[in-house]
Structure 1
Amino acid sequence: MKRYTRGGDKGETSLIGGRVLKVHPQIEAMGLLDELNSHIGLALAHQTDATLRHQLTKIQHDLFDLGSELMYKQNPPQQVDLAIVTELETWIDELETKCPELVRFILPGGSVASASLHVARTVCRRVERELVNIDAAVRQLSYYNRLSDYLFTAARYANVVAGVPDQEYARGASVFQPKTKKE
């Protein structure tokens, strides 16, 4: 099979159920998912921590599964079990226990491993904004909302692994209330 088909040379592409312009919202969303998955792949290449490597690989597979629901022109099947949202929440909670308490906003960056996760987080937010416009994808919004939270927390954890402190936004006041210890 040849890599090229020439089918899109006139500005159209195929969805299951028919052809659409390449500027169709679903095609735009699938392109953003590809971009997000690529940024997660780049972030994965910078990770040394086995937990993050496992989680990011799982997320890449989940993104392919979620993207498959966007490939239908009409009436997409809802194949993906959104229990993966709960899985992200569990990962967030576990990673957060290993990070310093968050008191101020932080600047994206620190280690290369962390900075790459912050870039993936911003692309994830863009995916989320695009999916709001696609009826078939609205059910997926909770996943992307939680994924951006996960990527933020994973970026902070990557800094912990690298021994690099988060850079706090110095011009702002404390915006998060410190947790009180239960006695």
Structure 2
Amino acid sequence: MVVLSKIYTRTGDAGTTALGNGTRVPKGSARVEAYGTVDEANAAIGMARLHAEGDMDARLALIQNDLFDLGADLCRPDMAKDAEAEYPPLRVAEKQVERLEAEIDAMNDALEPLRSFVLPGGSPLAAHLHLCRTVTRRAERLTVDLAAAEDVNAAAVRYLNRLSDWFFVASRIANDDGRADVLWVPGANR
């Protein structure tokens, strides 16, 4: 259990922060950028949840929890040392990726196939879910870049890739099962 009795520590005043293994790195490091953007995606979900109800809200709550798991995963380098760690680090599991895939498939079954690209918008919930999608795509790009240079849990990358797809399909559900999607009209303003 996490206990936070004091919020500021002054340890980051010189521009560094501690990773999950205690290593101090610059706050602008690739790893901090990756998990910081995951945190940003989580905040965007919090805004989307202001417009969500029922099952959609419950699914978004699960995703928010998953993103804390993902942040914990990304802030802990040196996966090769996981077995010898005093406390086993939390890693995103393939089961979490599979849950997203099952939810995407179930939501997509209710939708007509797309015949055009969808512009972000429609209902307030759909617009917020599109924002969640784009922030998640940025988190994915940063995590892929990180994985090119350092050890990263492959399930974490897959999770982010599926999550952005999840947000896209969920935005269509939020737009009256796609009937209120705002469709791109190529060259409409020429």
TM-score, normalised via structure 1 length: 0.86
Q: What is the letter of the counterpart of residue 180 of structure 2? A: P
- Which secondary structure does the structure 2 equivalent of 1:63 belong to? helix
Among candidates 130, 136, 142, match of residue 151 of structure 2 = 136
* Deviation string, structure 1 residues 66-117 (Cα, Å, up to 9, x no partner): 1111222433546332111111111111111222331111111000100000
Unaligned runs of at least 5 residues, structure 2:
83-88
Q: Which residue of 1 aligns with 2:60?
A: 56
CA distance in 1, matches of 2:77, 2:93: 21
Moved more, 110-119 or 21-30: 21-30
Q: Which residue of 2 aligns with 1:9?
A: 13
* Deviation string, structure 1 residues 101-153 (Cα, Å, up to 9, x no partner): 31111111000100000000000100010001223335021111111110000
User: How far does residue 3 in structure 1 lie from its aligned partner after superposition?
Assistant: 1.6
CA distance in 2, matches of 1:58, 1:78: 16
* Deviation string, structure 1 residues 152-183 (Cα, Å, up to 9, x no partner): 0000001116x9611111127xxxxxxxxxxx
CA distance in 1, matches of 2:97, 2:36: 22
User: How far does residue 17 in structure 1 lie from its aligned partner after superposition?
Assistant: 3.2
> Is the 2:125–2:171 contact (alpha carbons within 8 Å) kept by the matching residues of 1?
yes
CA distance in 1, matches of 2:76, 2:97: 23
Unaligned runs of at least 5 residues, structure 1:
173-183
Q: Which residue of 2 aligns with 1:165?
A: 180
> Is the 2:77–2:152 contact (alpha carbons within 8 Å) kept by the matching residues of 1?
no
Work out the percentage of aligned pairs sharing the same amino acid: 42
User: How far does residue 36 in structure 1 lie from its aligned partner after superposition?
Assistant: 0.4
* Deviation string, structure 1 residues 12-53 (Cα, Å, up to 9, x no partner): 1111231111111111111101100000111111112x1211
Q: What is the letter of the counterpart of residue 35 of structure 2? A: M
Q: What is the letter of the counterpart of residue 70 of structure 1? A: L
- Pairing 1:100–2:115 present: no
Q: What is the letter of the counterpart of residue 63 of structure 2? A: I
Alignment of 1:119-130 (within 5 A): 119-130=131-142
Q: Which residue of 1 aligns with 2:45?
A: 40
Q: Which residue of 2 aligns with 1:178?
A: none
- Which secondary structure does the structure 2 equivalent of 1:160 belong to? coil
- Pairing 1:148–2:164 present: yes
Q: Which residue of 2 aligns with 1:180?
A: none
RMSD: 1.8
- Cα distance 1:132–1:167, how it changes in 2: closer, same or farther (>3 A)? same
* Count of residue correspondences: 170
TM-score, normalised via structure 2 length: 0.83
CA distance in 1, matches of 2:52, 2:12: 36
> Is the 2:73–2:153 contact (alpha carbons within 8 Å) kept by the matching residues of 1?
no
